[in-house]
Amino acid sequence: MGDHQAKSETASLIEHRAYARVGLLGNPSDVYFGRTISFSLGNFWATVYLQPSDDLVIQPHPIHDLVVFKSLDHLVNRLDSEGYYGGVRLLMAICKVFLDYCKENEIQLEARNFTLSYDTNIPRQTGLSGSSAIVCAALSCLLDFYKVRHLIKVEVRPGLVLSAEKQLGIVAGLQDRVAQVYGGLVYMEFDKEHMDTLGHGIYTPMDVSLLPPLHLVYAENPSDSGKVHSTVRQRWLNGDEFIISSMTEVANIALEGRTALLEKDYTKLAALMNRNFDFRRSMFGDDALGALNIEMVEVARRVGAASKFTGSGGAVVVFCPDGPSQVKLLKDACQKAGFKLEPIQVVPSLLNEVDLQTLSK
């Protein structure tokens, strides 16, 4: 009896993974009605576990949600390295957004409770979308637990993830959440007309085999990546011509990049990656980007590689067009500068049969 019960409990455990993401081209134009190409990064992920239970429990993580400390020093050191916020608030926020959405859309949910817990190995403050990975994995668990995956379209889900983060004051765009919901390599268009009419962008999955070998460079102790959009956003809203024309150029980089990938024109891809970063730098300025972040890009460029931010700073995606000899030079340069370097693993599409049936034809 006890044995059978243990087996059925394990069988009812729902587990979902969502991966870090790399903005390859076009970012940050996703929040300016632009276009982007992003992909799921297999090197890092967040996992959320859902287990049926009598009460609804959001379980704190033993490291990221620590509330018991050895001393005052321990508490302060922990805040300095990890900040004030763990994942509990993210799990709570997606529960609220999910329930609100189901009520608004008259989706009936069975009266059942669960325990949510999570784990993550996505490095903090690296612009790899660690927060949204937790939210995205939790949403997948809720869809399966309540058996409503077929009722909530794939295109809608990135917006739900973003809504949960907005509840917490996290400023971001849809791009990261699209990459994490879809998995694989995705070309995205955020045209204002589409957004106003559909409530989401147009997302086109691409074959991951179109990507050349890429590398990730990141710092062990990065600076905060959340300050970057500040003045640019206001200037864009104010109608600043330089910002508006630059954002249009950045969006066009993704459009050109899509063709370059489809044609496997990697010389063009390298040029587009570099141009993408140069536009970002001219718009945001060196103070907003931070010296450490700029140095990560420059380390790669000094060995002739193409490089740009994966997000808004903290990590850099690098392409070495000259192959292994150039990778070796990059490895040595990163070691000298104190940066971590690893080959990028790309995750194929995460969509299952039920998801594919919900995609707009």
Query: Annotated active-site positions, please?
Result: 176
CA distance 313 to 295: 11
Q: Which residue has the tokens 């790669």?
A: 300
Pairing of strands 315-319, 185-189: unpaired
**CA 292 to chain CA mean position, Å:** 21
CA distance 175 to 6: 41
Best CA proximity match to 64, nearest among 91, 50, 83: 83
CA distance 309 to 297: 8
CA distance 258 to 84: 39
3-state helix, strand, coil in the chain (%, to 5): 50, 20, 30
C-alpha to C-alpha distances, 136 to 118, 243, 300, 361, nearest whole angstrom: 12, 31, 32, 23
Q: Which residue has the tokens 């996505």?
A: 122
- Helices then strands (H, E): number in the chain? 14, 10
Best CA proximity match to 21, nearest among 343, 331, 315: 315
